[in-house]
């Protein structure tokens, strides 16, 4: 007996709602939610409740291209099969997307679920800040991963602030206040830059329609950031000042410490660490420009360069299996050469092409897709926005949701009644 369309949609909506709610609830919450989505999608593939289109093919092409540099390094013997653990998760979205395309989830429900996830993330950051923020573990996630995900979730819902559903608009403003405050609480500069970039681009979308909406969005964001910064004693602004000083000192070939108890010549601030790792990535790219060293040889070679005096000793701090260069672009260059960089760009620009092509017919969904990609691209400039399993799963889910809603006229009439 085949399940009815109503039953399929109900089950599908519940599985996605559970994913977003579990995302920041507890460690591995995202994994439980993703597994439920995959099992339900797999069952419906078996029941032939699926369809396919060109947009889905292009997205899956980008999800496949990102695997290629790893395959090259595996053949070269410079990496291990375990390095496929993160990006290979994108391949499962062929099954998920085929089911979602046939039986589209309710867009209003998705928007509300993403907003709830952002608010839960904000509450988690508040609790972490009160109890002592441990940047490597906020409900099982690194704080950079958490804020990257929050920024992407908000990017997905922001364009819907222009719809006629007043209650949903107010909910999005509340979500904006929560994420703006959360970014300050996280003390993560890359996340703040990503959020500001998302709001800036979305303002361009609104420019011809509603100047009032633009003013409201910027006012809520800036006021929330200012109040949170004042309530936390200006800790975020202190980190910005430290970064500014560090960059100035680094340019002058001096080291700098933000720890008054430690001699300045021995410690870098977080910005100084990034600059030194970026330098390491560029040196490795110069030595092996096409396919790079691979994960394990890249870390070994960077440590060798530090021992030779070409790099500071700070590049030795990361364990071999988690070695990265604090930027998804320079990390791809340092480990996988130009081929790796091109694969990262393909992961972003192929979906961007799809969304840009549909920007008129499917305005809100295309705008959401553009902003989601932008949020990951911007945060990836200074952080490893896609290094973890949770961010890559969220990336896949949000991109796939935006793609399946394209060319659906009823979506742009979202919740008007």
* Residue among 373, 351, 367, 359 nearest 151 (CA): 373
59 vs 307, more confident: 59
End-to-end CA distance of the chain: 34
What count of other Cβ atoms lies within 10 Å of the Cβ of residue 245?
15
Distance CA 86, CA 288 (A): 24
* Residue among 275, 257, 342, 284 nearest 312 (CA): 275
Statement: residue 73 has pLDDT above 70: yes
How far is CA 120 from each of CA 100, 142, 179, 330, rounded to the nearest angstrom? 25, 16, 10, 32
Q: Please report the pLDDT score of residue 274 as a whole number.
A: 86
pLDDT tier at 43 (50, 70, 90 boundaries)?
very high
81-90 per-position pLDDT tens digit:
878 889 999 9
Locate 71 and state its tokens: 């395959």
Q: Please report the pLDDT score of residue 268 as a whole number.
A: 55
Residue showing tokens 């870390």 = 299
114 vs 270, more confident: 114
Distance CA 285, CA 288 (A): 5
Q: Please report the pLDDT score of residue 179 as a whole number.
A: 97
Locate 390 and state its tokens: 């949770």
Q: Please report the pLDDT score of residue 290 as a whole number.
A: 94
Distance CA 68, CA 75 (A): 11
Statement: residue 384 has pLDDT above 80: yes
CA 348 to chain centre: 11
Most confident of 174-178, 254-258, 411-415: 174-178
Distance CA 193, CA 210 (A): 24
pLDDT tier at 261 (50, 70, 90 boundaries)?
very low
Statement: residue 242 has pLDDT above 80: no
209 vs 250, more confident: 209
How far is CA 29 from each of CA 24, 284, 393, rounded to the nearest angstrom? 7, 37, 12
Instruction: Write the DSSP assignment of 177-218 as a string of letters.
Output: HHHHHHHHHHT-HHHHHHHHHHHHHHHHHHTTT-HHHHHHHH
Residue showing tokens 């996605």 = 16
| Signed CA dihedral, 89, 90, 95, 99: sign only | positive
Across 335-344, average pLDDT: 95
**Is the distance from CB of 312 to CB of 276 less than 8 angstroms?**
yes
pLDDT tier at 112 (50, 70, 90 boundaries)?
very high
pLDDT tier at 3 (50, 70, 90 boundaries)?
low
**Is the distance from CB of 369 to CB of 403 less than 8 angstroms?**
yes
pLDDT tier at 263 (50, 70, 90 boundaries)?
very low
Across 107-123, average pLDDT: 96
What average pLDDT does the structure give for the chain? 87
Q: What angle do CA 329, 332, 337 make, to 5 degrees?
A: 120
């Amino acid at each position: 007996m085949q399940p009815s369309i109503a039953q399929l949609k109900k089950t599908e909506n519940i599985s996605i709602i559970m994913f977003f709610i579990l995302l920041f609830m507890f460690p591995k919450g995202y994994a439980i939610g993703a597994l439920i989505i995959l099992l339900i999608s797999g069952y419906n593939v078996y029941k032939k409740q699926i369809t396919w289109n060109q947009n889905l093919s292009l997205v899956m092409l980008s999800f496949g291209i990102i695997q290629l540099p790893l395959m090259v390094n595996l053949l070269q013997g410079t990496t291990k099969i375990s390095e496929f653990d993160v990006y290979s998760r994108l391949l499962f979205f062929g099954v998920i997307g085929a089911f979602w395309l046939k039986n589209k989830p309710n867009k209003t429900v998705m928007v509300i679920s993403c907003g709830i996830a952002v608010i839960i993330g904000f509450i988690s950051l508040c609790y972490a800040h009160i109890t002592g923020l441990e940047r490597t573990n906020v409900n099982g996630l690194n704080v950079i991963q958490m804020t990257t995900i929050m920024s992407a979730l908000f990017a997905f819902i922001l364009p819907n602030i222009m719809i006629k559903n007043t209650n949903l608009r107010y909910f999005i403003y509340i979500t904006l206040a929560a994420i703006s405050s959360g970014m300050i609480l996280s003390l993560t500069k890359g996340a703040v830059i990503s959020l500001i970039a998302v709001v800036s681009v979305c303002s361009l979308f609104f420019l011809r329609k509603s100047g009032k909406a633009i003013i409201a969005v910027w006012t809520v964001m800036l006021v929330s950031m200012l109040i949170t910064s004042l309530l936390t004693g200006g800790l975020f602004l202190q980190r910005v000042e430290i970064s500014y000083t560090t960059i100035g000192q680094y340019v002058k070939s001096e080291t700098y410490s933000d720890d008054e108890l430690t001699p300045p010549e021995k410690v870098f601030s977080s910005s100084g660490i990034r600059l030194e790792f970026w330098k390491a990535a560029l040196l490795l790219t110069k030595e092996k420009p096409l396919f790079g060293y691979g994960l394990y040889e890249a870390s070994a070679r960077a440590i060798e360069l530090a021992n030779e005096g070409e790099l500071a000793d700070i590049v030795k701090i990361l364990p071999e299996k988690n070695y990265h260069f604090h930027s998804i672009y320079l990390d791809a260059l340092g480990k996988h050469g130009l081929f790796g960089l091109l694969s990262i760009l393909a992961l972003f620009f192929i979906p961007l092409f799809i969304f840009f092509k549909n920007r008129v017919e499917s305005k809100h969904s295309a705008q959401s897709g553009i902003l989601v990609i932008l949020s990951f691209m911007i945060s990836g400039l200074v952080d490893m926005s896609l290094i973890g399993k949770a961010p890559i799963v969220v990336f896949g889910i949000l991109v796939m949701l935006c793609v399946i809603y394209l060319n659906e006229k009823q979506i742009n009439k979202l919740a008007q009644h």
